[in-house]
């Protein structure tokens, strides 16, 4: 039931699967969650869990 609940998910580009590094520019498409489902924590972890698509700058320009 709680298999992946506490697993840290890396922030990766949806196109090239490269890990997004700190201070790197990115583009993310997310839906604003309901107030009771808001994630709290480091930005990259919350973004990795909630974003439908994340692109590094190079892949988004293509």
The four Cα atoms 7, 46, 10, 2 give a dihedral, to 10 degrees, of 20
Q: How far is CA 57 from CA 32, 37, 38, in A?
A: 22, 29, 26
Residue 54 reports pLDDT greater than 90: yes
Residue 50 reports pLDDT greater than 70: yes
Give the C-alpha separation, 13 to 55, whole Å: 5
Average pLDDT over residues 29-56: 89
Q: How many structural domains are present in the chain?
A: 1
Domain that holds residue 31: 1-62
pLDDT band at 45 (very low <50, low <70, confident <90, very high): confident
User: pTM score, two decimals?
Assistant: 0.74
Give the C-alpha separation, 23 to 32, whole Å: 23
Residue 20 reports pLDDT greater than 80: yes
């Amino acid at each position: 039931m709680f298999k992946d609940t506490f697993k840290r998910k890396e922030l990766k580009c949806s196109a090239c699967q490269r890990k997004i590094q700190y201070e790197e520019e990115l583009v993310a498409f997310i839906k604003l969650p309901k107030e009771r489902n808001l994630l709290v924590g480091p930005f990259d972890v919350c973004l990795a869990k909630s974003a439908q698509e994340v692109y590094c700058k190079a892949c988004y320009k293509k």
